[in-house]
């Protein structure tokens, strides 16, 4: 399918969330018009104020439950009476399941919501040219070889099998991995099944843990999205010397993710592809050192043991070179820049 260039209108679901608000910002700054879904009018206040300088190029529509997209859907969201026809959809959905849902609910929030929006787009999105879905690197993890380098060809098949076998007893991480992988496959299956009926393609962005400055609305640390809680805890919780060189996480900066979503519209070759975003892995000491090297005077961040023998990973865990090449991305932001900006954005409100 042809690329979607500004000033096209883009629908962003979950626009008030950590990633969604950054993606909307990047789209607006690149000349696109954005319509964002919100759960309530109250949820729209912060994001509307943040983007007020963009005037009518940013609007919101209330969709209390995006999994009911067949009912609300693109028919309402794509009304041309006031804001123009939507040319692209950016689908943002997914959270780590920390509770134990009953079996019928294991895959619903991701898969049902995606299929519902796809079906509504098929029926009503006559002007849509591209559907961009945010998956998660969790959708590909689970290889037994710890030195395996993950690529777009990897899937969390073991988690899918475990979730289908044990249901809610499979555990939150396995359920989340399975739900994200199955949602991606639902997109592939839907597009293939309806390829003669639709005039759009679907791109899947698969990021590592997303960190970066927080600009969505929050009041306490408990209100933060999970990834922001995780890195803030990593930065502020001391660890013993024998733990500082333990693997901590993979990461990618939310601003780089937002740029990738914009590129997924602008680059024709991105259509139909699965693209991994990963800036690298780090240990806790890597994180501490990167922060203090980037911002030497920053207070409140653990120092760990800077004199410990330096540790580096034997190789990449994830090969994201394909996404960099296809989307023509600039080099990813460094761990130091990402972590410092994240920490400062959270501390500023505490």
Q: Is residue 219 part of a domain?
A: no
| Spatial separation of the C-alpha atoms in residues 201 and 272, rounded to whole Å | 6
Q: According to the model, what pLDDT value does residue 97 have? A: 34
304 φ/ψ angles, rounded to the nearest 5 degrees: 65, -135
Q: Which residues pair with 273 in a beta bridge?
A: none
Task: At 14, list the tokens.
Answer: 């979950």
Q: Is residue 345 part of a domain?
A: no
Q: According to the model, what pLDDT value does residue 93 have? A: 43
Q: According to the model, what pLDDT value does residue 307 have? A: 80
Across 72-89, average pLDDT: 48
Q: According to the model, what pLDDT value does residue 292 have? A: 97
Mean pLDDT estimate for the chain? 87
* Residue 310 binned pLDDT confidence (cut-offs 50, 70, 90): confident
Cβ atoms of 281 and 238 closer than 8 Å = no
Q: Is residue 128 part of a domain?
A: yes
* Residue 80 binned pLDDT confidence (cut-offs 50, 70, 90): very low
Q: Is residue 66 part of a domain?
A: yes
For the chain, percent of residues with pLDDT exceeding 90: 69
Across 109-129, average pLDDT: 84
- Which comes out higher in pLDDT, residue 170 or 341? 341
| Spatial separation of the C-alpha atoms in residues 136 and 144, rounded to whole Å | 19
* Residue 85 binned pLDDT confidence (cut-offs 50, 70, 90): low
Q: According to the model, what pLDDT value does residue 86 have? A: 58
Task: At 188, list the tokens.
Answer: 């592939």
- CA-to-CA separations, 293 to 51, 212, 231, in angstroms, rounded: 33, 17, 17
- Domain around 36: 9-212+251-279+314-333
Q: According to the model, what pLDDT value does residue 101 have? A: 40
Q: Is residue 232 part of a domain?
A: no
Pick from 26-35, 81-90, 134-143, 181-190: least confident: 81-90
Cβ atoms of 47 and 15 closer than 8 Å = yes
Q: Is residue 290 part of a domain?
A: no
Task: At 208, list the tokens.
Answer: 């590592």
Q: According to the model, what pLDDT value does residue 313 have? A: 77
* Residue 330 binned pLDDT confidence (cut-offs 50, 70, 90): very high
Cβ atoms of 34 and 57 closer than 8 Å = yes
Q: Is residue 220 part of a domain?
A: no
Report the number of distinct structural domains present in the chain.
Answer: 1
| Spatial separation of the C-alpha atoms in residues 89 and 128, rounded to whole Å | 7
The per-residue pLDDT for range 204-248, each reduced to its tens digit, is 999 999 999 999 999 999 999 999 999 999 999 999 999 999 999
Q: Is residue 244 part of a domain?
A: no
Look up the CATH number of the domain holding residue 325.
Answer: 3.40.50.720
| Spatial separation of the C-alpha atoms in residues 304 and 167, rounded to whole Å | 40
pTM of the model: 0.90
* Residue 142 binned pLDDT confidence (cut-offs 50, 70, 90): confident
Cβ atoms of 273 and 203 closer than 8 Å = yes
Q: Which residues pair with 36 in a beta bridge?
A: 12, 60
* Residue 81 binned pLDDT confidence (cut-offs 50, 70, 90): very low
Q: Is pLDDT of 343 > 90? A: yes
């Amino acid at each position: 399918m042809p690329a979607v260039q500004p000033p096209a209108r883009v629908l962003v679901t979950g626009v008030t969330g950590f990633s969604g608000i950054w993606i909307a910002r990047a789209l607006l700054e690149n000349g696109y018009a954005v319509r964002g879904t919100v759960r309530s009018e109250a949820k729209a206040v912060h994001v509307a104020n943040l983007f007020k300088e963009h005037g009518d190029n940013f609007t919101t529509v209330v969709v209390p439950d995006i999994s009911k997209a067949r009912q609300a859907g693109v028919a309402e969201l794509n009304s041309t009476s006031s804001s123009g026809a939507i040319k692209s959809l950016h689908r943002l959905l997914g959270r780590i399941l920390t509770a134990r849902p009953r079996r019928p609910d294991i895959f619903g929030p991701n898969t049902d919501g995606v299929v519902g929006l796809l079906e509504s787009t098929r029926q009503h999105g006559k002007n849509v040219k591209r559907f961009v879905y945010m998956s998660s690197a969790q959708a590909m993890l689970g290889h037994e070889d710890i030195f395996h380098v993950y690529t777009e060809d990897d899937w969390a098949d073991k988690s899918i099998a475990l979730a289908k076998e044990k249901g809610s007893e499979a555990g939150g991480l396995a359920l989340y991995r399975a739900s994200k992988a199955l949602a991606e496959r639902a997109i592939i299956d839907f597009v293939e099944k309806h390829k003669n009926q639709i005039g759009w393609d679907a791109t899947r962005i698969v990021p590592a843990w997303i960190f970066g400055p927080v600009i969505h609305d929050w009041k306490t640390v408990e209100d933060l999205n999970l990834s922001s809680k995780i890195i803030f805890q990593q930065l502020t919780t001391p660890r013993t010397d024998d733990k500082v060189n333990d693997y901590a996480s993979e990461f990618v900066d939310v601003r780089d993710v937002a740029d990738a979503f914009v590129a997924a519209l602008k680059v024709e070759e991105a259509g139909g592809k699965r693209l991994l975003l990963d800036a690298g892995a780090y240990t806790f000491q890597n994180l501490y050192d990167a922060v203090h090297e980037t911002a030497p005077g920053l207070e409140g961040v653990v120092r760990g043991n800077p004199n410990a023998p330096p540790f580096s990973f034997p190789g990449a865990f994830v090969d994201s070179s394909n996404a960099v090449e296809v989307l023509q991305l600039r080099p990813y932001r460094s761990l130091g820049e990402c972590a410092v900006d994240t920490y400062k954005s959270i501390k500023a409100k505490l």
